[in-house]
Amino acid sequence: MNIKERTVAALRLLDVGDRFAHLALPKAAVLIPLFVKEEELHTLMTLRSMTLRTNAGEVCFPGGKRDPSDRDDVETALREAEEEIGLRSDQVQLVCKLTPVINKSGLMVTPVVGFIDETFCPSPNPAEVSAVFTLPLDVFTRENNHAQLQGVPGLVGPLHSFHYEDLMSGRHYHIWGLTAALAMLVAVCALHKRTEFEVGFDFENPLQYLNRTY
């Protein structure tokens, strides 16, 4: 199998399906886009616009709140990705849904993982997104540029963060909180690799890490 086939096979073992669909909580979903470039797994992230009311200027995956017209979490993630960066649903090969997590606003956020083509050219909506960038997934397993904070109010265990410089644009990005946690977990599961730093979760059952609140 090639790297994409191995990744799809590994991540589909983690698919939760509709196990949490019955929970009566306000819902949201994010799309974690993966692609292969030069035989290495990469992911795509966005920088939220500074004009947004919540989480302005933060790095995140494409996503947002469930719309009444959305049939499920997958449709939410795909709709938001198209609205934010112009990624159409037919440009995404769905892989799995991971265990949802309750964020600091009380939303049940479901991570949806999918593969996109390396040649995808984003068209960011300036009302929501100020930048789009890609980076190797392996970044989230390495000690370099990693930091963590202890004793964060309302959070059990450390808060992980990463600083990444996009050499194409020269911009620096700070990736932290739920986005960093999701990126770390997908990296560990997809790459079959332990992190070079202490993360506070069982590598044999890493998704339990999402039982925390962000």
Task: Choose between 139 and 199: higher pLDDT.
Answer: 139
In this predicted structure, the answer to whether residue 104 has a pLDDT above a threshold of 90 is: no
Tokens 């700070």 sit at which residue? 174
Distances (CA, A) of 166 to 37, 75, 169, 210: 15, 30, 6, 28
Q: How many residues does the chain have?
A: 214
* pLDDT grade for 119, boundaries at 50, 70 and 90: very high
For 105-109, 123-127, 146-150, 189-193, which range has the lowest pLDDT when averaged over its residues?
146-150
Q: Which region, left, alpha or beta, applies to residue 170 given φ > 0 means left and ψ of -120 to 50 means alpha?
A: left
The pTM for the full model equals 0.92
**Coil, helix or strand for 130?**
strand
Average pLDDT, rounded, for the chain: 90
Mean pLDDT of the 44-66 span: 90
Q: What is the DSSP letter of 106?
A: S
Residues 6+ apart with CB under 8 A from 134: 35, 37, 42, 43, 44, 45
Contact 31, 115 (CB under 8 A): no
| Residue 209 confidence (pLDDT) | 61
Contact 26, 68 (CB under 8 A): no
In this predicted structure, the answer to whether residue 77 has a pLDDT above a threshold of 90 is: yes
Give 143-195 pLDDT, tens digit per residue. 998 998 765 555 556 788 999 999 888 899 999 989 998 999 999 999 988 89
| Residue 52 confidence (pLDDT) | 77
**Coil, helix or strand for 119?**
coil
Task: Choose between 149 and 77: higher pLDDT.
Answer: 77
CA angle 117–118–122, rounded 5-degree value: 85
